[in-house]
Amino acid sequence: MAAESEIIFSRESNVVEQANKEIRTSVKDIEKEKEKFYAAIFLSTVTGISALIGFGTTLASARKQDPKYFNEGLSGCKGLNETGASLALRALGWGTFYAVTGCGLLFYGIWKISGAKNAEEFRYKMGSLLPRIPKNDPPQSRTEFEGLTDLLTYLADDWGKKKD
């Protein structure tokens, strides 16, 4: 009887340990997903703020250079049916539509031509088609530079030349 209860107890403890491992693994997976989500939000926020600052700076410099024509572009003038701003916005919308549609069709076509069923399979198929990038270990040229001037001087003078 004692041996049977010991076996049952050891089985139950194994089940409990396995359940604890699964819970720890799922918690780690949730934490990784949460971290990816926060990283995506951070990068999207930085990108959006950068775009707004760049657009605002460009708009301010255009207004500063020629305020008369800038205001005419916003409000329109006698011979024009629409303002310059609305024309530019319409052009931006159509350009965005064509760019997204064209790239989407191109990428979808490449995906279908490859015959891949999922992203991992597509990665392996493209990896087998494309040339391999050789490892640069140990580095064959300089990797440390004091500044941008040092890097540009190296690229202009020494890069690509074989060592004697």
d(CA 96, CA 102): 10
Give the Cα separation of 133 and 101 in Å (integer).
Answer: 31
Residue bearing tokens 């004692």: 2
**Helix %, strand %, coil % of the chain (to 5):** 75, 0, 25
The conformational region for residue 141 under phi > 0 = left, psi -120 to 50 = alpha, else beta, is: beta
**Rounded Cα–Cα distance for residues 158 and 155 (Å):** 6
Q: What is the pTM of this model?
A: 0.43
Taking only the tens of pLDDT, the chain with its 164 residues reads: 566 666 666 676 777 777 777 777 777 888 888 888 999 999 999 999 999 999 889 888 888 888 777 777 666 666 667 777 778 888 999 999 999 999 999 999 999 999 999 989 999 999 888 888 878 777 777 778 888 888 888 888 876 666 65
